Structure 1
Amino acid sequence: MLQVNVELKERSYPISIGAGLLAEPVSYHPLKQGDKVMIVSNPTIAEHYLATVTSTLETLGCVVDFVLIPDGEKYKTLSSLDLIFTALLEKNHNRDSTIIALGGGVIGDVAGYAAASYQRGIRFIQIPTTLLAQVDSSVGGKTAVNHPLGKNMIGAFYQPISVIIDTETLKTLPKREVSAGLAEVIKYGAIFDLAFFEWLEQHISELVQLDQSALEYCIQRCCQLKADVVARDETEKGDRALLNLGHTFGHAIETHLGYGNWLHGEAVAVGMLEAAALSHILGDLSEQDVFRIEKLIAQATLPTISPDGMQPEEYLPYMWRDKKVLSGQLRLILLKSLGSAYVTSQVTEQQVIDAIRRFTQQ
C-alpha cells in the first residue's frame, strides 16, 4: 500500500493507495466499534462495492446505514443533497456520525457538502471509485453541487478525515470514464511537472489498459502534486487555482450541453487544448508543445474538438459566470511552457474566441 499525506496541521489526513483496500479494516482508521456511518453512493457503484464496504465496517463494529442518489452529473443537485439529509435524520445520525462517499466525483462532491452542512459539520471519508476522483476531486476538500446557471456554484471547502483509493475499483469502470480521468492526469503534468508529462507520453497506453504498476505510480504522483498545492493554498487564493487549467472552458461546455452529456474529463480535455492555443496566441507556449498536448489527449482516447454545433462565442456567457472572475475581469489559467502554469486576466475576448476556434469543428 502506498500513502500520501495532505498536510493541514490538525486537519491533516492520509491518502491510502493500493489494490483490495476496501476489504481491509485497517483502511478505515480512525473508525471504531460503535461509530455510526452513513454510506452515500449510487445504484451503479452500490451493486459492486456496497456489500464489501458494509461488511468491513461491521467487522470493525460500526453501525452502518446507506443512502443512494441517482447516478450522473445531472443529479449533482440540491435535491440529491436533501436526500442525504433526510436519510441522516431518519436514522438519527448526530455530530459523532461519519459520512462515507463511495463513488466518483459527483458522489464525493455531494456527500462532502452534506458532511460540511449536516449539524454544521460531521466527519467524512472519501472512497473514490473513478480514476478522475482518485487523482483529483477526492483530494483537497472541494465540495459542491451544481446550479442550472453554473457548475459547482454552491459548496464549501471541507476536508475529509481520510481518502481510501482501491485501484481494483477501476476494473469495473467503463473505458470512457477511464479516459475522462486521464484528462486530469495530463493536467498535472502540463501545469506542474514536465518530467511527469514526459512519463505520460511514454506510458499512456499502459494507463488506458489499466496496468496496475503504472496506475499506482500515476495516482500516487497526482495525489502528491495535489496534496502539496492544497497544503500551500487550501482555499484557492493562489497556487491552487492553477489546478483549473482548461476548466473555465470545460465548464462552459458542460453547462451549455447540459450536465452529463459530456463527462467532466472530456470537457476539460478540450478546455486544456483551448487554453494551450490561447497560451500560444499570447506568445508563451510553442506550437510544438500545443501539438504534444493534443497528441497525448488523443492517445488517451479523449475528444480534441469542441462539441459539434457549439460556436466559440457561445462559451463566453458561461465563462463570465466562472468563480475565477474577479473585479469584472476574466481570469484564466494558461501555460508559460509545459510544466509551468500561471493565472492571468490579460486576455481579450477576441483572443479567447480565436483560441476556441482552433479546436472547433469547421
Structure 2
Amino acid sequence: MTFQTLELQLQGHSYPIHIGSGVLSNTVLFQRALKGQRRVAIVTNETVAPYYLDTLVKTLGGCECTPTAIVLPDGEKYKNWETLNLIFDGLLKQACDRKTPIIALGGGVIGDMAGFAAATYQRGVPFIQVPTTLLSQVDSSVGGKTAINHPLGKNMVGAFYQPDAVIADTDTLRTLPDRELAAGLAEVVKYGALGNLPFFEWIEANIDLLVARDPDALQKAILQSCKDKASIVEQDEKEVGIRAWLNLGHTFGHAIESGLGYGAWLHGEAVAAGMIMAATVSQLMGLIPEADVQRLKQLLVRCGLPVVGPKLGAARYIELMSLDKKVESGKIRFVLLEQLGRAVIRSDVPNVLLTQAIEMCCE
C-alpha cells in the first residue's frame, strides 16, 4: 500500500487528505479519522456498494467499529430532498446519535448528500469522505461544500461542512467507466487552466497516461489537484473571494445540467463545455488569444470530453445562469481567464457578447 498525505489547514479545523493505493483497507487511517467512535454509518449507492462496501466494513471491523450501511439509488437525478430523507431515515432507525460519524463511500453525489446530512443531522455529526470516482477524489470531496439540487438550480440547498478526513483510494478508479474517468479529468484540467500553467503543461504531456489509467500519473494528478484546491480553500473557506475561481466552467456547466435535466450530462462533461464557453467569453473580451481557447479545447478533446454545449438557446442559458449562486446584485459573476493559467472574476460581461459566445459554442 502506497499513499501520500497532505493537510488542509483551516482556522479551527484542519484535516488530512490521504491519496493512494490500498488506503480503503488501511485500518490505521480510519482509526485516526474515527477518533475512538465505535459506531459509524456508511452512506453509499447501489453501484458502488457491490464493489467496495464489504472492504470498508471489514476495515471498520478492524477498528472495532459496528457499521450500518445506507444504500441509495445511483445518479444525479436522485440528489434531492427525497433521497436525503432516506439518509435521515436510516440514521434514525439505527438510533445514531450526534457522535456517530457518517462515511460517504462513493462519488460526488454521495459525498455531497452525505455531507449535507452530516451537517444537519442533530445539528452536525462527524463526517469522513471516501471518494471512489476521479471527480470526487480531485474536487468534490475536498473543501467542505455539501448540497442537494433544486429543480431550478444545481446545488442550491446546502452547507459548508468540512470532513474530518478524506481517504481516497486510487484503486477504485479501476472499476470506473471510461465516461466517468473523462468527467473527472475535466476537473483536473480546470486546476491547470485557472491557476497552475506548469500543471496544465504536465497534463498535456501526460494525458495519454491519464486516459490509460496509469497509476503513477493518476496519483500525481490527484495529489496536485488537491494541493491546488487546498491552497485556495485555506485562503477562502466560504467562497467570498478567490475560491470562486474553482467554478471555472461551472456557471455555464450548471446551466447545461439544469437545462437538460440532471443526469443527462455528467457534471464533468458539462464543466468541460462550460470551460470552452468561459474561454470564448474571455477571448471576445480581449483577455486571451484564440490560440489559448484552441489549446484548452484540444486538451479536453484528448480527455474524451465534449467541447460543444447543447443548443438550449442563449436566452435560456442566461435565464438559468441568473439563478447561479455567484449572482450578486442581479449581475452574473463569471470566472474567466485573463491568461491560460490565471483566472479572473468579472461581472461586466455584456449580454450581447455573452449571447455571441454561447451561440459560437453550442450546436
Which TM-score tier does this pair reach, normalised by the shorter chain?
over 0.9
Of residues 26-35 and 348-357 in structure 1, the stretch that sits farther from structure 2 once superposed is: 26-35
Q: How big is the shift at 1:330?
A: 1.2
Counterpart among 269, 294, 297 of residue 297 in structure 2: 294
Describe the shift of the 1:21–1:176 C-alpha distance in structure 2 as closer, same or farther (beyond 3 A).
Answer: same
Which residue in the other structure is 1:3 paired with? 5
Residues 188-235 of structure 1: per-residue CA shift (max 9 Å, x gap): 000010000000110111111110110111000000000011100000
Counterpart among 354, 357, 360 of residue 359 in structure 2: 357
SS in structure 2 at match of 1:219: helix
Residues 35-58 of structure 1: per-residue CA shift (max 9 Å, x gap): 210000001100000000001101
Which residue in the other structure is 1:348 paired with? 350
**Alpha-carbon distance in 2 for matches of 1:293, 1:32:** 44
Residues 145-190 of structure 1: per-residue CA shift (max 9 Å, x gap): 0000100000000000000010000000000000000000100000
Does residue 221 of the first structure (1) align with residue 215 of the second (2)?
Answer: no
Which residue in the other structure is 2:238 paired with? 235
Unaligned stretches of 5+ residues in structure 2: none
Q: How big is the shift at 1:30?
A: 3.0
Which residue in the other structure is 1:25 paired with? 27
Q: Does the 8 Å contact 1:34/1:63 carry over to 2?
A: no
Which residue identity does 1:288 align to in structure 2? A
Which residue in the other structure is 1:142 paired with? 145
Q: How big is the shift at 1:310?
A: 2.2
Q: How big is the shift at 1:32?
A: 5.5
**Alpha-carbon distance in 2 for matches of 1:304, 1:211:** 24
**Alpha-carbon distance in 2 for matches of 1:248, 1:130:** 22
SS in structure 2 at match of 1:44: coil
What pairs with 1:71-220 in structure 2 (closer than 5 Å)?
A: 71-220=74-223
Q: How big is the shift at 1:358?
A: 1.6
Q: Does the 8 Å contact 1:101/1:108 carry over to 2?
A: yes
Residues 296-327 of structure 1: per-residue CA shift (max 9 Å, x gap): 000000001112x4222220110000000001
Which residue in the other structure is 1:330 paired with? 332
SS in structure 2 at match of 1:305: coil
Which residue in the other structure is 1:284 paired with? 287
Counterpart among 307, 316, 319 of residue 318 in structure 2: 316
SS in structure 1 at match of 2:329: coil
Residues 222-276 of structure 1: per-residue CA shift (max 9 Å, x gap): 0000001110000000010000001000000000100000000000000000000
Which residue identity does 2:317 align to in structure 1? Y
Which residue identity does 1:7 align to in structure 2? Q
SS in structure 2 at match of 1:218: helix
Q: How many aligned positions are there?
A: 360
**Alpha-carbon distance in 2 for matches of 1:31, 1:186:** 33
Q: Does the 8 Å contact 1:32/1:62 carry over to 2?
A: no
Identity of aligned residues (%): 53
Q: How big is the shift at 1:350?
A: 1.4
**Alpha-carbon distance in 1 for matches of 2:35, 2:253:** 41
Which residue identity does 2:86 align to in structure 1? L
TM-score calculated relative to the size of structure 1: 0.98
**Alpha-carbon distance in 1 for matches of 2:96, 2:107:** 24
Q: How big is the shift at 1:4?
A: 1.3
Counterpart among 11, 14, 17 of residue 12 in structure 1: 14
**Alpha-carbon distance in 2 for matches of 1:285, 1:321:** 27
Which residue in the other structure is 1:259 paired with? 262
